[in-house]
Amino acid sequence: MTDVSVLVDSRGGNTRKVADAMAEEMGIKAKDVATSPTDDAKVLFLGSGTYGGKPGEAMMKFVGSGDFSGRKVAIFGTSGSLAGGQKMIATMEDALTKKGATILGIYHCRGKMFLVNWGHPNNEDLDNAKKFAQEMLNKS
Ligand SMILES: Cc1cc2nc3c(=O)[nH]c(=O)nc-3n(C[C@H](O)[C@H](O)[C@H](O)COP(=O)(O)O)c2cc1C
């Protein structure tokens, strides 16, 4: 089994559901990035919700304080709008690339926010997250 970790920054639980689905598919447990400030895995799945167009602070702290050279990262996230999610993921991608990471791939789905995106992430989103996890493992 590849040395792999799933770390997530999820205030409301939407991105956590996605993280749990990916981790389950790989036979591991997802970890909260706020309580796992360091991680040595060679392959990382890093995910966050979108807050004011940005990733969560704990995720950005993790990225900012880590050395990602020679490591592979799959980025995932949820957001209220597609544009918001794209902006958030671009921020993570940029920060991780500057820190030497090789980006394996990106997964995004909608996350409920009050009455918007009701029911998301839904079963289809979670199934797609599992497929993404397998694809990333095959690439890593
Ligand atoms: C404080 C706050 C700010 C948010 N800002 C944005 C935003 O700028 N753009 C966007 O697309 N969604 C935004 N959202 C929606 C969340 O990104 C979305 O509900 C996401 O699924 C939350 O993930 P979580 O449940 O893992 O925390 C915001 C939600 C909250 C609570």
* Distance of CA 22 from the midpoint of ligand 1 (Å): 20
- Whether the predicted model's global pTM rises above the 0.85 cut: yes
Atom of ligand 1 nearest to the CA of 17: 26
Q: In this structure, what token pair is assigned to residue 6?
A: 């799933």
Please give the distance, rounded to the nearest whole angstrom, from the Cα atom of residue 3 to the centre of ligand 1.
Answer: 30
Q: What is the pLDDT of residues 123-139, one digit of tens each?
A: 999 999 999 999 999 99
Counted domains in the chain: 1
Ligand 1 site, residue 11, Cβ cutoff 6 A: yes
Parent domain of 105: 4-139
Query: Where residue 34 sits, what CATH number does that domain have?
Result: 3.40.50.360
Measure the CA–CA gap between 7 and 68, rounded to whole angstroms: 14
- 106 Cα: distance to centroid of ligand 1 (angstroms): 18
Give per-residue pLDDT as tens, 22-70. 999 999 999 999 999 889 999 999 999 999 999 999 999 999 999 999 9
* Contact between 18 and 109 (Cβ < 8 Å): yes
Helix (H, G, I), strand (E, B) or coil at 34: coil
Percent above pLDDT 70 for the chain: 99
